[in-house]
Amino acid sequence: MDGAAEKGADDGMGRLLLIEDDAETAEDVLGDLRGRGHQVDWAATGPEGREAALAGGWHVIVLDRMLPGCDGLAVLRALRQGGDRTPALLLSALSDVDERIRGLRAGGDDYLTKPFALGELAARIEALLRRPVEAPETLLRVGTLELDLITGTGRRGQRGLDLLPREWKLLDYLMRRPGQVVTRAMLFEEVWNYRFVPKSNLIDVHVGRLRRKLEAGGEPPLIHSVRGLGFSLVADD
Amino acid sequence: MTRLLSTTAFRWSFAIALWSALLSLILFAFIFWQTTTLELAENDDVIEKQLAYVAAEPDQAKSRIEGWLGGGIQSDRFAGYFAPDGAWLAGNITELPKALPRDGSVHVLDSAVAVAGGETRSDLRSAALRHADGHVIVVAISPEDIERAEAVILQTLGLALIPMTILSVIGGLLLAARARRKLVATEGAVAAVMQGDLRQRLPVGTGRDEFDRLTIDVNTMLDRIEVLVDEVRSVGDAIAHDLRTPLTRLRARLERSRDEARTVADMQQAIDRSLVWLDQCLALITAILRIGEIEHGRRRAAFGPVDLAHSIAEVAEVYDPLAEEKGVRIVRAIEPDLPPVTGDRELLFEAIANLVDNAVKFTPQGGRVRLSLRRQGQELVLGLEDSGPGIAPGERARVFQRFYRAEPARHSVGNGLGLSLVAAIVTLHDFRIAVSDAVPTGCRITLTCPTIIPARPELLDRARELPQARISTDVPS
């Protein structure tokens, strides 16, 4: 990774490489990601993708698990063996959990099963582009919201917050990704540590409770719903 | 008969008959060879002893030879006593055989030996010895007796071989015919099954032999196949039906909005609505694929020790807010210090979550859902009770079938796959699930989970190989 690549990721926009053999899917993904301000290159085959990936200079590589001419995992392994740690997101029509484990072991950073919502893909790419606020931080602050990781207390302005353990974890996760769209699936994976799509509106209920606690003093909303996708914690100042 | 000849059973019996005949032949040949060798050895022994006896006393040689020959009664015995110049002195050998070595041991001469009555014999086994004074004694025995004995043995053995072969063939034929009779009935039933009549069953004999056991197994297999095929058939119908409803709506909405939408906002609203229906269809397809994947047992790679108590606590914690909004309480009754079970923690979470999801959905306001976990011998028993309407006894077996929805649920949200997903996960783990009545009302689901699985030790081995990260628990705060 060169310096230019590192720097480009800070504003949430990046140079992306999409390795995907299905032209229709690629067209939609390219259109969507470019529409969001990313700069995206497309490779349609495994060998082509490997060449482009090894050339370097990418912020995130999105690659299909099964490619003509060369397996997506093989491309990833070639990249990792060369010492390149560029974040990679695997796309696959295979939902088998073993497949996912295999993908992550080969050096993948995230795994998305087809069919997926374009918003979900964009949110996950954004999460890979923007490294979350690192753990050594002792105080998380977004606008008037503060979490003291040492004392385990939270405050909204001058008002203390009374949070349950899971609400704390949820808020911690959101505050490390301010302004970023976080999908329901991402929340379930990261906060509850299960890959599972709940049938009922479970996540919304949990987020709703947290939201009520944050706005109990009549403050303006902090957690915003992103329609059809998930949530975003946006600073209020 | 030609059919019988072409059956495997007949071929086998024929082969066995041939084989036993061949074995008998080898045995007979061995007996024959042993007997004749022994007889000849005894014969030669007699010759040499007699020769030594005659030669022991030169004065009595003549009389001993006469005594040995017994005046011609012993027709197979021959002897001669010759002067140093080769002149005949006594016995029925009239001329001294020149080629016979005078060494006292038995030889079979190539040249003929002249005997009394002007005859010559060329088959004699003979021995000769020369005295110090030049006299020569010859003793010989004709092997006629031995040859006769050999002929008798051969005849006896040959005669025995014929009935033996015949008996083996008959026995084989009887066995083949018996197996054939059993097979004919089976073949008829199998032919019907091949024609597509899955309700046919093979006729079961009264015996308890391998064949009857096999028949019973095949029938059990047919029972299972029939159920599965019926299930696939009805699942196919159900999928088509469940997909058609949202797709019909989607089509109508798209068609109408194309004609009627006047603003971008109109169009966006129509597309949003369409996406919801499309997502329903995709969720249904994904659920079916997942169940298939789990049923095929392809998910065992993620198996490891799972703390069920922790899983239950997590599910309850996830569902608490949802239940609270509905005015339903989730009560936990979990015994402390329970051993882990072997399984996939994500799948087990999903199974329990599905059960709790259902329970919360069907419990009226003010009701409760009770989750319990206790040890019972080597097993853990997970109980889930709700105070909902319950499931009628007649419907209990069917709730775990794909797409089955008990009557009260027929019009509620969901694709009817939740419980069949649970059933697939339960089967994958070798757990047992049962539905009964809760007290005083509602439904009770019992999940019985063995804590050790001796029948599948390889699973435990595989579980041990898994990286520790997958089995660590992420206790909040």
User: Edge to edge, what strands does the sheet with A88-92 contain?
Assistant: A39-43, A15-19, A60-64, A88-92, A110-113
> Which CATH number is correct for A139-233, 1.20.1080.10, 3.30.420.40, 3.40.50.150, 1.10.10.10?
1.10.10.10
Sequential DSSP letters for B21-83 = HHHHHHHHHHHHHHHHHHHHHHHHHHHHHHHHHHHH-GGGHHHHHHHHHGGGTSTTEEEEEE-
Amino acid B402: pLDDT: 57
Q: What is the average pLDDT value for chain B, to the nearest integer?
A: 81
CATH topology of domain B210-295: Helix Hairpins (1.10.287)
Using the structure block, give the residue that is written with the tokens 């509106």: A201
Q: What is the pLDDT of residues B11-27, one digit of tens each?
A: 777 787 788 888 888 88
User: Edge to edge, what strands does the sheet with A181-183 contain?
Assistant: A181-183, A230-233, A223-226
Going by C-alpha positions, the residue among B162, B168, B169, B161 that lies closest to residue B5 is: B169
Q: Which residues of A109-147 are buried (b: 16+ CB within 10 A; e: fewer)?
A: bbbbbeebbebbbbbbbbbbbbeeeeeeeeebebbbbbb
Quote the ipTM score: 0.82
In three-state secondary structure terms, B470 is: helix
Amino acid B464: pLDDT: 44
In three-state secondary structure terms, B240 is: helix
Q: What is the pLDDT of residues B117-163, one digit of tens each?
A: 777 777 788 888 888 888 888 888 888 878 888 888 888 888 888 88
Nearest CB to B321: which of A194, A198, A209? A209
Tell me if B164 sits within 8 A of B24, measured CB to CB: yes
Q: What is the pLDDT of residues A34-80, one digit of tens each?
A: 999 999 999 998 889 999 999 989 999 999 988 887 888 889 998 99
CB contact under 8 A, B302 and A97: yes
A·B CB contacts under 8 A: 65
Task: Answer yes or no: CATH 3.30.450 is held by domain B12-146.
Answer: yes
Amino acid B414: pLDDT: 52
In three-state secondary structure terms, B391 is: coil
Q: In terms of CA atoms, which chain A residue is nearest residue B418?
A: A199
List B230's β-bridge partners, or say none. none
Interface test with A, best of B272, B318, B417 (most A CBs within 10 A): B318
Q: Is the pTM of this model over 0.95?
A: no
Lowest mean pLDDT among A40-44, B384-388, B444-448: B384-388
Distance CA A194, CA A171 (A): 18
| Location of each CATH 3.40.50.2300 domain in chain A | 3-129
CB contact under 8 A, B322 and A101: no
B379 touching A (Cβ < 8 Å): no
For B311-375, the three-class secondary structure string (H helix, E strand, C coil) is: HHHHHHHHHHHHHHHHCCEEEEEECCCCCCEEECHHHHHHHHHHHHHHHHHHCCCCCEEEEEEEE
Tokens of A211: 């939201």
Using the structure block, give the residue that is written with the tokens 């966006």: B268
Tokens of B401: 């079938």
CB contact under 8 A, A196 and B349: yes
> B465: which chain A residues are within 8 Å (Cβ-Cβ)?
none
Q: What is the pLDDT of residues B260-299, one digit of tens each?
A: 888 999 898 888 888 888 888 888 888 888 888 787 766 6
| Location of each CATH 3.30.450 domain in chain B | 12-146
Which of the listed ranges A70-74, A88-92, A131-135, B194-198 does the model predict with the highest average pLDDT?
A88-92
Partner A, chain B 277-296, Cβ-Cβ below 8 Å: 282-283, 286, 289-290, 293
Amino acid A133: pLDDT: 66
- % of chain B at pLDDT higher than 90: 13
B302 touching A (Cβ < 8 Å): yes
| Location of each CATH 1.10.287 domain in chain B | 210-295
B357 touching A (Cβ < 8 Å): yes
What value does the mean pLDDT take over residues B225-232? 82
Residue A228: pLDDT over 80: no
Distance CA A66, CA A167 (A): 39
| Location of each CATH 1.10.10.10 domain in chain A | 139-233
Residue B257: pLDDT over 70: yes
CATH number of B300-470: 3.30.565.10
CB contact under 8 A, A206 and B321: yes
Sequential DSSP letters for A93-138 = S---HHHHHHHHHTT-SEEEESS--HHHHHHHHHHHHSPPPPTT-S
> Which CATH number is correct for A3-129, 2.60.120.10, 3.40.50.300, 3.40.50.2300, 2.60.40.10?
3.40.50.2300
Amino acid A36: pLDDT: 92
Amino acid letter for position B92: N
Gap from B332 CA to chain A (nearest CA, Å): 18
Q: What is the pLDDT of residues B192-213, one digit of tens each?
A: 888 888 888 888 877 777 888 8
What value does the mean pLDDT take over residues B406-416? 46
Amino acid letter for position A96: D
